[in-house]
């Protein structure tokens, strides 16, 4: 292990925290600065796949994190399913358009040209995925990859060390309203599970499918459910906003 590299990374993370309790959000923010990236995001693992995003640093990053969770495709999803980092060195390459046909154009539209997704694992335990979004194409250098892996390890340790998996952080580190949107999605899934008499996990799948089919953000659909503008029921169909029901 390169102890000097590790020490520099932790010093940068503490510097980002500015005296506040250090959280994984500070690790993401320090990583973005150290690697001159456009943004970084962190999503937790759920079962064998990708769970909900919990951190986004950089303009538009929260949308890309949420999009991969909603669509069930993207480098983050692949990294969560595997054991090695996933590198998309240039999203203009047709290979990535075929591999992630919905995520790739969305990322390019937001100015992202390359993505590196690093699975966070503690032994056999899946913790999550750290995603680094860059505005320029190209693979990371050996030093950049080594730095990214150190920041990924730091983020994993901070996730595991936080009492609820989501330690407090400054708003500019967290991303505007990120926790609120995350809580709203879970609240909506709980309401749908009651409406349909199904488990929360299946309700979350239904919610994601509804958002994708209507090309809406997951958080927007969740808000409609929570504020009772949209209700799910079996065999009944309607338009969102009508106050009636959506059949699934």
Does the pLDDT at position 172 exceed 50?
no
CB distance 210 to 221 below 8 Å: yes
State how many domains the chain has.
Answer: 2
Q: Residue 100 CB: number of other CB atoms within 10 A?
A: 23
**Together in a domain, 121 and 84:** yes
Residue 169: band (very low, low, confident or very high) from pLDDT cuts 50, 70, 90 = very low
Q: What are the beta bridge partners of residue 133?
A: 39, 115
Does the pLDDT at position 241 exceed 60?
no
Digit-coded pLDDT (tens) for 95-141: 999 999 999 999 999 999 999 999 998 877 888 999 999 999 999 99
Distance of alpha carbon 68 from alpha carbon 225, whole angstroms = 21
Q: What six digits make up the tokens of 169?
A: 């952080």
Q: Residue 6 CB: number of other CB atoms within 10 A?
A: 15
Digit-coded pLDDT (tens) for 40-89: 999 988 877 887 888 999 988 999 998 898 888 999 999 999 889 999 99
**Together in a domain, 54 and 166:** yes
**Together in a domain, 140 and 203:** no
**Together in a domain, 222 and 124:** no
Mean pLDDT score, 167-173: 38
Does the pLDDT at position 177 exceed 80?
no
Predicted local distance difference test score (pLDDT) of residue 197: 86
Q: What 3-state DSSP class applies to 96?
A: helix
Q: What six digits make up the tokens of 53?
A: 């995003």
Q: How many residues does the chain have?
A: 248
Can you give the residue range of the structural domain that contains 191?
178-247
User: Which of 174, 197, 217 finishes a domain?
Assistant: 174
**Together in a domain, 145 and 45:** yes
**Together in a domain, 100 and 213:** no
**Together in a domain, 165 and 148:** yes
């Amino acid at each position: 292990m390169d102890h000097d590299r590790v020490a520099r990374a932790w010093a940068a993370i503490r510097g980002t925290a500015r005296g506040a309790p250090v959280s994984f959000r500070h690790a993401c923010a320090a990583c973005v600065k150290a690697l001159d990236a456009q943004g970084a995001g962190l999503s937790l693992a759920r079962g064998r796949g990708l769970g909900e995003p919990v951190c986004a640093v950089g303009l538009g990053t929260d949308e890309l994190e949420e999009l991969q969770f909603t669509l069930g495709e993207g480098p983050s999803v692949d990294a969560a399913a595997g054991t090695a980092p996933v590198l998309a060195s240039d999203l203009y390459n047709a290979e990535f358009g075929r591999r992630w046909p919905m995520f790739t154009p969305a990322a390019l539209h937001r100015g992202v040209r390359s993505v590196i997704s690093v699975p966070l694992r503690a032994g056999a335990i899946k913790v999550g995925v750290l995603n680094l979004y860059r505005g320029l194409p190209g693979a990371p250098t050996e030093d950049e990859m080594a730095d990214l892996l150190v920041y990924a390890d730091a983020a994993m340790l901070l996730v595991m060390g936080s009492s609820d998996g989501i330690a407090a952080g400054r708003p500019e580190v967290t991303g505007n309203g990120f926790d609120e949107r995350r809580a709203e999605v879970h609240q909506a899934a709980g309401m749908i599970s009651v409406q349909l008499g199904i488990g929360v996990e299946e309700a979350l799948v239904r919610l994601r499918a509804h958002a994708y089919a209507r090309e809406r953000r997951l958080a927007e659909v969740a808000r409609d459910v929570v504020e009772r503008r949209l209700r799910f029921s079996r065999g009944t169909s309607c338009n969102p906003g009508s106050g009636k029901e959506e059949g699934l």
